[in-house]
Amino acid sequence: MAHNVLMIMPGFPGEMPYFTRGLDNVGATVWGVAPGGANELPEMARYHLTHYLSVPSLFTNADDAIQQIREWTRGVTIDRVCCLWEPGVELAAAIRAALDVPGQTPERARRFRNKELMKLALGKAGIRVPRHVSARTIKEVQAGAERVGFPCIIKPIAGAGSQDTFRCDTQAELDAALKQLGHIEEVSVEEFIDGEEFTYDTVCAGGVIRYFHVGYYRPRPLVARSVEWISPQTLSYRHVDDPWVADGRAMGEAVLKALDFDTGFTHMEWYRKSDGEVVFGEVAARPPGARTVDLMNFASDIDLFTGWAEAEVHGRFTLEVERKYNCACITKRAQGQGRIQRIEGLDRVGERCGEAIVAVDLVPVGSPRRDWKATLLSDGYLSLRHPDWQETQDMADFVGEHLHLYAG
């Protein structure tokens, strides 16, 4: 039986065309919806869509958008509604409710988006979360910082990643952060957790974890997003049974159970302190970004874009997962401003890493340098893999030290 799947944002961000292709691969009829015209979609997304509707009000007027989608699909049974982009998670839930489609409800979606509701629910379930309060005014932020204590973290209540996130060690730093957060309606004031930062990512079907992945950030994102010269690394961990990550895995399982997650991709971030304590960070009802799904694929030579689609559409996961490699994605930031003038060190990296290199995607010479604070991938990346964990880290460090882009 054919399944009609409504895919919100089938072409953006960069990985979405692969998820759209995955839906087509498992036999779904894919109905794409986005604010722009079909001509704005990447070729892969256009190829794997059966129907497309441009809804300019998609993220500005939900009621109008839902009415347009309702008229467009009148007489058709929509079996699933998917959105793998963080800002559209609650919209997708509202569309499900309006069209009577099974899947994550608005209430559950809100707990995955609102960090305060999220941590309240998990704290009640006995999961170690940072001390936290929500705040809408400067006075409330100040009171929250006094309650939580310095150092503290200020972040958007419904943000994604480390965008607009600030560590404040003093009152002066808190005052400076508040000046940069004026555009955000509500923030979370949280205890700063000093520790290594990991991820726990899953594909679920019917409330069962069918696939999981453990990632590791070098350095932690808050540092990487604050210091321009750093080449941030995301690593995919091969030996997921290692005691080093066992507590984080157990926490991830408890988190999804407490939040009653059913089907789809999830991305959780967690901390391991120097004393061994494991602390929850945050969780999202979507895959990780910055090409991390690519790392999962490289680690086992699989296609998780299609694996996710099979779980979403058919409620099963039949990929055979053999964890062969550790993987690393190293993001590069150009030195200087303007257009990319030259790229140096790629030959040296090739000599050092050889067949371990599985992807190179750098901004071409002549192209404008990107805003490193506005994009996780900055001016491009190089991904590699190796069976040995230490060798993977050593090669990733070599890339960070010897591959350079220069703008001017």
Cα torsion at 318, 323, 324, 328 (round to 10°)? 110
Run of H or E residues at 359: strand 357-362
Residue 171: Cβ within 10 Å count:
12
Pick the CATH number of 195-407 from 1.10.10.10, 3.30.470.20, 3.40.50.300, 3.30.1360.170: 3.30.470.20
pLDDT of 61 reads 96
Token pair for 362: 């750098």
pLDDT of 162 reads 54
pLDDT in tens, the chain (408 residues): 679 999 999 999 999 999 999 999 999 999 999 999 999 999 999 999 999 999 999 999 999 999 999 999 999 999 999 999 999 999 999 999 999 999 999 999 999 998 889 999 999 999 999 988 888 888 888 888 888 888 988 888 766 555 678 889 888 888 888 887 766 778 888 888 889 999 999 999 999 999 999 999 999 888 888 889 999 999 999 999 999 999 999 999 999 999 999 999 999 999 999 999 999 999 999 999 989 999 999 999 999 999 999 999 999 999 999 999 999 999 999 999 999 999 999 999 999 999 999 999 999 999 999 998 888 889 999 999 999 999 999 999 999 999 999 999
Helices (H), 33-75: 43-48, 62-72
Peptide bond before 130: cis, by omega within 30 degrees of 0?
no
pLDDT of 271 reads 95
pLDDT of 175 reads 86
* Domain 131-191, classified CATH 3.30.750.24, yes or no: no
pTM of the model as a whole: 0.90
Run of H or E residues at 278: strand 278-284
* DSSP 8-state assignment for residue 1: -
Could you tell me which CATH number the domain at 3-103 has? 3.40.50.20
pLDDT of 161 reads 53
CA distance 208 to 210: 6
pLDDT of 185 reads 79
Token pair for 97: 């409710």
Token pair for 264: 């789809």
Give the residue extent of every domain in the chain: 3-103, 131-191, 195-407
C-alpha triplet 158, 162, 167: angle, nearest 5°: 105
